[in-house]
């Protein structure tokens, strides 16, 4: 037996289950951010002086970020519309653009945060910065969550595509190892680094050639473990980059199973993209509130 209304609308509500589910989820998200906005009002009205956001925060960068997110909302809805028109290639294009814009948002956010830290402005400095870091931080987590979900539906399909993704990860991984190298791999760790590189190169080749029958994902896992042994010796940025990219690569090759919904049930797949879109618009909307409240008021 199938659970009813997973794809088709229930006549009296006009919704399929997932769409109702995501609206309910968003209702609770409204309460979450509503609680934080109320906290902001409460804190601000409780003290005599409160800084003007624009004096401390970087308004032009935030404006740029606002543009990125609004545009990403547009591309998101375009990707859904392309699926409705049965144009899968366009879907990949627009969903890819959404991913790109979301990543750009994070990059800008990274520069904003580090600029604050460089000026010794931390969450603990005062409550304005505290609430700024808390709210934007929580929003960034939502953006990252969105990226994972969109990526999950965007990646995959044929073998070549999968290989491409794997190779990109391997390449990034290699970059991380070399960055790490600069920060001083000596003695025992040299062997470690060398083994990692060899494993990755085998992974690169094996993912290209089917007849090698080597599981690329296990090689990536091996690389990660060999490299991760260095945790006792290094604490540089490069090393954390290595760990982060390694975990992403492992997540990519292990956790995410290839999604075959589009082939088996295009309407279901389209619905899922609609749901992801609803979430993504919400993330966008939160930012549209955050921007004036924190940066301008």
Partner 1 sequence: MTIDHHKQSFWTKYVFSTDHKIIGIQYGITSLVWLLFGFVLMMIMRYQLAYPESPIPFVGGLIGEGGILPSEMYNSLGAMHGTIMIFLGVVPLAFGAFGNYFVPLQIGAIDMAFPKLNAASYWMYFLGSVIMGIGFFVPGGAANSGWTSYPPLADIATTGQTVWLFGMVMLITSSLLGSINILATVIQLRTEGMTWMKLPIFVWTQFITAFLLLLAFPPLEAAGVLQLMDRLAGTSFFMPSGLVVSGEVLTNAGGGSPLLWQHLFWFLAHPEVYVLILPAFGIVTEVIANNTRKPIQGYKSLVYSMVFLGFMSFVVWAHHMYLTGMGTSIGAFFQTTTMIISIPSVVILTALLLSLWGGSIRFNTPMLFALGFLPMFGIGGLTGLPLGLAAADIHLHDTYYVIGHFHYIVAPGTIFALFAGIYYWFPKMTGKRTNEMLGKLHFFFSFIFMNGVFMPMFIQGLAGVSRRLWDGGEIYAHAADVLYLNEVMSVSAWLLGLSQLFFIINMIISLKGEKTGEANPWDATTLDWTDTTSPPLGHGNFEKVPTVYCGPYEYSVPGSKEDFTPQSKKG
**Min CB(257)–partner 1 separation in Å:** 13
Q: Tell me if 25 contacts partner 1 by CB under 8 A.
A: yes
Which of 110, 122, 212, 225 lies at the binding interface for partner 1 (CB under 8 A)?
122
Site for partner 1 in 35-64 (CB under 8 A): 35-36, 38-39, 42-43, 46-47
Q: Which is nearer to partner 1, 131 or 294 (CB)?
A: 131
Which burial class, exposed, middle or buried, applies to 103 when counting CB atoms under 10 A from its CB (0-12, 13-18, 19+)?
A: middle
Q: Tell me if 144 contacts partner 1 by CB under 8 A.
A: no
Q: Tell me if 11 contacts partner 1 by CB under 8 A.
A: no
Q: Residue 10's beta-bridge partner residues?
A: 15
Site for partner 1 in 69-98 (CB under 8 A): none
Which of 58, 71, 126, 259 lies at the binding interface for partner 1 (CB under 8 A)?
126
CA separation for the pair 1, 45 (Å, rounded): 57
Please report the sign of the dihedral spanned by the C-alpha atoms of residue 12, residue 15, residue 21, residue 26. Answer: negative
Nearest to 83 by CA among 281, 257, 276: 276
Phi, psi of 120, rounded to the nearest 5 degrees: 60, 40
Q: Tell me if 124 contacts partner 1 by CB under 8 A.
A: yes
Helices 237-250 and 159-182, axial angle in degrees (round to 10): 160
Q: Which is nearer to partner 1, 5 or 178 (CB)?
A: 5
Phi, psi of 268, rounded to the nearest 5 degrees: -60, -45
Residue 222 is encoded by which pair of tokens?
Answer: 């091996």
CA separation for the pair 233, 37 (Å, rounded): 43
Which of 130, 222, 236, 266 lies at the binding interface for partner 1 (CB under 8 A)?
130
Q: Tell me if 152 contacts partner 1 by CB under 8 A.
A: no
Q: Which is nearer to partner 1, 6 or 63 (CB)?
A: 6
Give the 3-state secondary structure of residue 92: helix
- Assess contact for 132 and 57: CB atoms under 8 A: yes
Site for partner 1 in 260-279 (CB under 8 A): none
Chain positions contacting partner 1, by CB under 8 A: 1-6, 10, 13, 15-18, 20-21, 24-25, 27-29, 31-36, 38-39, 42-43, 46-47, 122-127, 130-131, 133-134, 138
């Amino acid at each position: 037996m199938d659970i009813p209304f997973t794809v088709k609308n229930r006549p009296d509500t006009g919704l399929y289950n997932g769409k109702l589910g995501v609206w309910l989820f968003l209702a609770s998200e409204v309460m979450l951010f509503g609680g934080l906005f109320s906290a902001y009002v409460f804190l601000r009205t409780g003290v005599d002086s409160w800084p003007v956001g624009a004096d401390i925060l970087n308004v032009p960068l935030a404006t740029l970020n606002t543009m990125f997110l609004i545009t990403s909302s547009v591309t998101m809805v375009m990707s859904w519309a392309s699926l409705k028109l049965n144009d899968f290639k366009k879907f990949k294009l627009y969903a890819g653009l959404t991913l790109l814009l979301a990543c750009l948002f994070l990059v800008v956010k990274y520069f904003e945060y580090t600029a604050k830290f460089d000026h010794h402005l931390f969450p603990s400095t005062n409550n304005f910065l505290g609430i700024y870091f808390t709210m934007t931080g929580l929003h960034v987590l939502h953006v990252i969550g969105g990226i994972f979900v969109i990526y999950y539906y965007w990646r995959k399909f044929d073998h070549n595509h999968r290989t491409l993704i794997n190779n990109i990860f391997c390449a990034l991984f290699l970059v991380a190892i070399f960055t790490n190298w600069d920060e001083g791999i000596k003695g025992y760790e040299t062997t470690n680094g060398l083994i990692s590189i060899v494993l990755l190169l085998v992974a690169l080749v094996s993912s290209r050639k089917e007849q090698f029958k080597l599981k690329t994902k296990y090689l990536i896992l091996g690389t990660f473990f060999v490299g991760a042994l260095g945790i006792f010796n290094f604490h540089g940025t490069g090393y954390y980059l290595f760990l982060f990219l390694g975990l992403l690569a492992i997540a990519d090759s292990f956790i995410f199973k290839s999604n075959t919904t589009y082939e088996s049930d295009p309407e279901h797949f389209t619905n899922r993209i609609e749901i992801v879109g609803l979430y993504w618009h919400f993330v966008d909307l939160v930012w549209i509130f955050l921007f004036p409240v924190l940066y301008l008021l």
